[in-house]
Amino acid sequence: MSEERKAALVDTIAYAIKHSTRGDGMTARRFETADAPGRLLAVLKTANGRVACDVVRTTLDSMEQDKYTQALRHALGGDGYAKSLEERRQRLAAETGASPSTLRRYEATATRALALKVADALQDEPENMAMAAEQPCPDPLVTALVGLRMAMAEQTTVLREILSELKRIGN
């Protein structure tokens, strides 16, 4: 995989993770129904939001447990108590003494590191990342939408490569 293509993949994964922190946090349904988080489904080549959640959580758990991953873990939610990202940030800010703006920076750093780790895993072992994806999705509409997202993601990558080549030629 070219460096440009990997960078585009990391950007797509980071974008999906960032947008999965909204509202009550990362859920299978959010991956299956929202556009930005749904991009991770296309990257993983699955229609199953639970697979995306599992990949994100497992990869996050495998990372060094520090203030950055702690901030991202809280942003992703799942505790069932805070119904908004701001509530989760306020709670963690009260626990740690860090300001919400500092927590946002920690989240951004951890999101990028997480996206890079997922991209590396996809590059090394693409068939193992979404083993659970082999289970067919019972909803044909979701399957069709994921197929469209996958096609769009591939087209976007190709267009970025073309643009990059045109810029290189122009210089």
pTM value?
0.71
Q: What does the pLDDT look like over 57-104, one tens digit per residue?
A: 889 988 999 999 999 999 998 666 677 899 999 999 999 999 999 999
Domain count, the chain: 1
Query: Could you give the CA distance from residue 60 to residue 77 in angstroms, rounded to a whole number?
Result: 13
Residues of the domain holding 86: 3-170
d(CA 40, CA 36): 8
- The Cβ of residue 149 has, within 10 Å, a number of other Cβ atoms equal to 18
Q: Tokens at residue 149, please?
A: 């997202």
Cα(151)–Cα(1) distance, integer angstroms:
18
Q: What is the pLDDT of residues 130-158, one digit of tens each?
A: 443 444 445 566 556 656 666 666 677 67
